[in-house]
Chains A and B, each alone.
Chain A
Amino acid sequence: MEDNGGEDPVNNNNNTTVSSEGSIIKVTVKTPKDKEEIAISEDASVTQFKEEISRRFKAKQDQLVLIFAGKILKDGDSLNQHGIKDGLTVHLVIKTAHKAGDGASSSTSCTSQVGSSSGSSSGPSSAAHSSSVGSTGGPVSAPPQTPNILTGFGDLSSLSSMGMGSANFMELQQQMQSQLMSNPEMLSQIMENPLVQNMMSNPDLMRQMIVANPQMQQLMERNPEISHMLNNPELMRQTMELARNPAMMQEMMRNQDRALSNLESIPGGYNALRRMYTDIQEPMFSAARDQFGNNPFSALGGNSDGGVQPSRTENREPLPNPWGPPSSTDPSEGGGGTGTTGSSTAGSTNPSVSNPLAVNSASLGNGMFSSPGMQSLMQQISENPQLMQNMLSAPYMRSMMQSLAQNPDMASQNPASSPSTGTNPAQQLMMQQMLQMFAGGNASSQTPEVQFQQQLEQLGAMGFINREANLQALIATGGDVNAAIERLLGSQPS
């Protein structure tokens, strides 16, 4: 219990490590973008504090404004006076003489060291470079003797040293965009960023950005509604709210999709939708996404161009019944002067008035072709021979045909050999020609049973013993085993 007189347990100066007066305290200095912890002596003056801060934040002392507890810290004050203690936070504002976007003065001030002509070489991408040039001003100015070329390189190297590695700003943008698309998390992270949110809450800025895109400008000229939309600040603000909140966005998209599908089910609605799409959305889409190369709808849109004439009129044809038995109207009815309305192709579907080519819509198979819209399109096309000619002569149709050809379901059987076409040599010839154009044909000559034999076997092996049902399912799904299974399971009682 000896009282150790030397040590005062309540010593305030426990943490004295430096020779300066007072103890060191750690103060957090916070800017809207940044946060740093600065160790400073408790008795320091605001000026000394600012010195330290200017070193850490790489800004000039007279650009710094410090705020604590709602008061500006003046140079003459001391930290103590304001009650700044260990662990507390001081707010910092770095006054920039000009805004960050305007890089002209900073880049000229920097490149003036390296030669005045360098300004021109960094001209095109000065927006991207100015910030990097400003911050890497030191290394860039190192070779002062060679202006022009080398400073051009200097700029680029400073960019790549920032980790981007791409000289072209457009490329950069593309990369960013593709990254963004592939990584939805990144997108949401970017959205969370308060800086981005600040920017987004400024409708004027958004508008300027949108309008600056030249394709957008074209679009705006063509469709005055779009420019009207952009000019409406209320709408902009709401859209930005939407953009800021990804959950709300998804909800909105879902609603829109639902509305669209409702529209589709109205007679004539599909055509209206298609019209709307080609007029408005497609150019917008391509304007926005052509960097990606793949407009996912371009294939579909390209197809519909061929059928654009009939789409203007309402499609009154009943949609084909994919499950029903092949229609049994007189096959030779279609025979006549016109070539394309020839007789049966002896496909699995007998030709009918509305379906003279016996386009078996079901067997056209997977993906987009099995949509009812596409089927009706095909029917319309087959009704209108002129249209058929037009369509087939278009180059993109050829590629579509080729891809059709690769679909194993549409084995290129020669229907000319089928018994029903044998009677009329002219028609037979016509058929052959047709098929050449189709490059592979779109209907097989075998009965579905034979055509789907392999799939039937598969289904049988899996335990679906009802061959009839299997066959129906396979016809309906165009030979897709998985889809057929689903169908079968759906119709069976549990």
Chain B
Amino acid sequence: MVTCALPLLSDKMAVAAGSGCLRPGVGTEIILPGVKVPRNFRLLEELEEGQKGVGDGTVSWGLEDDEDMTLTRWRGMIIGPPRTIYENRMYSLKVECGPRYPEAPPFVRFVTKINLNGVHNSNGVVDTRAVSALAKWQNSYSIRVVLQELRRLMMCKENMKLPQPPEGQIYTN
């Protein structure tokens, strides 16, 4: 059905001030400026969102260990976007929210082996400078935002065709 709409749109090829692939999302909570939400509040909220499946269902996150009272260690899952080399694969990640979260960005690393720009090949650690959500972290961002950003990276032209290791391999360290 989009093929029908396309020729109509292609008539007016204008050069817009384009935005690239990267555009971190903003959380949907009501943010009052100047109010600092305590860390645990935030993390509990994110926990709930993770369990309720807020978002489009392409990423998932939750506590690694349900008994973890510090809410530090989290697990994330990214479903490989369609029509890319990552399609049909599930990528597991570890997310660590330090004591200064949400003022400081979390540490993210892939558990499932992946070939993606910005992810270290040896250990799956995500380079903070490569992901704009981490590089320009704001306290309104969340784990979901980071995961969605990584997913968007997978859809970028430079990444979507990178050859991938066989499915199911994980980083050992």
Which residue among B6, B75, B93 has the maximum number of chain A CB atoms within 10 Å of its CB? B6
- Which of B27-35, B47-55, B96-104, B124-132 participates in binding chain A? B47-55
Chain A contact surface mostly: helix
Contacts of A249 in B (CB 8 A): 9, 12
Number of A-B residue pairs, CB cutoff 8 Å, is 150
Contact: B90 with A229, CB < 8 Å?
Answer: no
Query: Would you call A489 an interface residue if the criterion is a C-beta within 8 Å of the partner chain's C-beta atoms?
Result: no
Shortest beta-carbon distance from B3 to chain A in Å: 5
The 8 Å CB contact of A72, one of B12, B19, B77, is: B77
Contact partners of A287 in chain B: CB under 8 A: 7
Contact status B92-A72, CB under 8 Å: yes
**Which of B13, B87, B157 has the most C-beta atoms of chain A within 10 angstroms of its own C-beta?**
B13
Q: B69 at the A/B interface (Cβ < 8 Å)?
A: no
> How many residues on chain A are close to B (CB under 8 Å)?
65
The count of chain B contact residues (Cβ–Cβ below 8 Å) is 50
Q: Determine whether A285 belongs to the interface, using a CB cutoff of 8 Å to chain B.
A: yes
Contacts of A213 in B (CB 8 A): 3, 7
Asked if A69 contacts B79 (CB within 8 A), the reply is no
- Whether A32 and B18, one on each chain, are in contact in the complex, defined by CB atoms closer than 8 angstroms, is no
Residues of B within 8 A of A199 (CB): 2, 83
What sequence of 0s and 1s flags, for each residue 217-261 of chain A, a beta carbon within 8 Å of any chain B beta carbon? 000000000000100011101110111000011001101100000
Residues of B within 8 A of A234 (CB): 18
Select which of A32, A70, A180 is within 8 A of B57 by beta carbon.
A32
Q: Are B12 and A253 in contact (CB under 8 A)?
A: yes
CA distance A245 to B139 in the complex (A): 28
Are A284 and B11 neighbours in the complex by a CB distance under 8 Å?
yes
How far is B47's CA from A111's CA once the two chains are assembled, in angstroms?
48
Q: Tell me, rounded to whole Å, the shortest Cβ–Cβ distance linking A46 to chain B.
A: 15
Contact A256 B79 (CB under 8 A): no
A-B contact pairs, 8 of them (CB 8 A): A70-B60, A70-B62, A71-B75, A190-B5, A235-B15, A237-B20, A248-B16, A289-B8
Interface residues of chain B, those whose CB is within 8 Å of chain A, are 1-16, 18-21, 47, 50-53, 56-58, 60-64, 66, 74-77, 79, 81-83, 87-88, 90, 92-93, 155, 157, 160
A-B pairs, top 9 by smallest CB distance, nearest first, are: A69-B62, A89-B53, A288-B7, A238-B18, A70-B75, A177-B4, A70-B61, A70-B62, A70-B76
